[in-house]
Structure 1
Amino acid sequence: MATIDISEKSFEETIAGNDIVLVDFWAAWCGPCRQFAPTFSKASESHPDVVFAKVDTEAEPGLSAAARITSIPTLMAFREGILVFSQPGAMNASGLDQLLTAVKGLDMEEVRAKIAAAPAS
């Protein structure tokens, strides 16, 4: 599956409507973002069960602010609508594969239980 571009309007629907979504926050002027783009795109071909989405931080400043993006690239992983991973910095192909394996292997009942038990902030 190819990567898709998402906006502030389509973000919630994309996250809620898919089991696993990886979101790459990037900008055209960002060298590390451009270096990471082919790795992200290639991984999308190997994992058709995952939605690979891209957010252009220049075109979507409101979404970037809402997601608290302070450094790009930033990669976020959502599983069943829950943010389960967020990290700034480019990732190599093996690191991305390890992340995908970990996200796919999560026990979501356990994740939801931890969220429910966490003190409100």
Structure 2
Amino acid sequence: MSTVELTKDNFAETLKDNSFVLIDFWADWCGPCRQFAPVFESSSDQHTDIVHAKVDTEAQRELAFEFKIQSIPTLMIVRDQTVIYNEPGALPAEALESLITQARELDMEEVKQKVAEQAGDTPQ
């Protein structure tokens, strides 16, 4: 599966319609971004059940600002509309594969409960 280009117009809908999304925040001028691109594309081909999406931080400055992207590439993993990973840096293929495995193994009900507790929204 090829990667999806995310914009401010399709970002929210993409996260709403898909339970597992990997997002690569990148820019054309960024050397590490260009090095990470084939790793990300290969992962997209290998994990067809996961949406692999890219945000061009130059063209989508509002999204980059909204998510406080200060260094690129930044990889974000979103499961069930919850950000579970958001870190800068180009990853080698093995590290990305390990991260995907860990993300798949998460109990999202537990994650959502912890997020609610941190936000002070613990159900009584």
Which range, TM-score by smaller chain?
over 0.9
Correspondence list, 1:25-64, <5 A = 25-64=25-64
Unaligned residue ranges in structure 2 (runs of 5+):
none
Cα distance between partner residues in 2 of 1:18 and 1:104: 14
Instruction: Look up the match of 2:85.
Output: 85
Q: Match for 2:45: what amino acid?
A: E
Aligned residues: 120
- What secondary structure does 1:78 align onto? strand
CA distance in 2: counterparts of 1:99 and 1:13, whole angstroms: 24
**1:30-80 per-position Cα deviation (integer Å, ceiling 9, x unaligned):** 000000000000000110110000000000001110011000000000001
Q: Which residue of 2 aligns with 1:14?
A: 14
Which residue type is aligned with residue 105 of structure 1? Answer: E
1:23 match: secondary structure: strand
Alpha-carbon separation, structure 2, partners of 1:14 and 1:119: 24
Per-residue deviation at 1:16?
1.2
Q: What is the DSSP-based 3-state SS (H/G/I as helix, E as strand, rest coil) of the residue aligned with 1:85?
A: strand
Structure 1 unaligned spans of 5+? none
In structure 2, C-alpha distance between the alignment counterparts of 1:69 and 1:83, rounded to whole Å: 14
Paired amino acid for 2:36: F
Per the alignment, residue 72 of structure 2 pairs with 72
Amino acid at match of 1:21: V
The structural deviation recorded for 1:119 is: 4.3
Q: Note the aligned Cα RMSD (angstroms).
A: 0.8
- 1:106 positional shift: 0.7
Question: Normalized against structure 1, the TM-score is what?
Answer: 0.97
Ranges of 4+ aligned residues in structure 1 off by more than 2 Å: none
C-alpha distance after superposition, 1:69-102 (max 9, x if no partner): 0000000000011000000010000000011101
Partner of 1:116: 116
SS in 2 for 1:64: helix
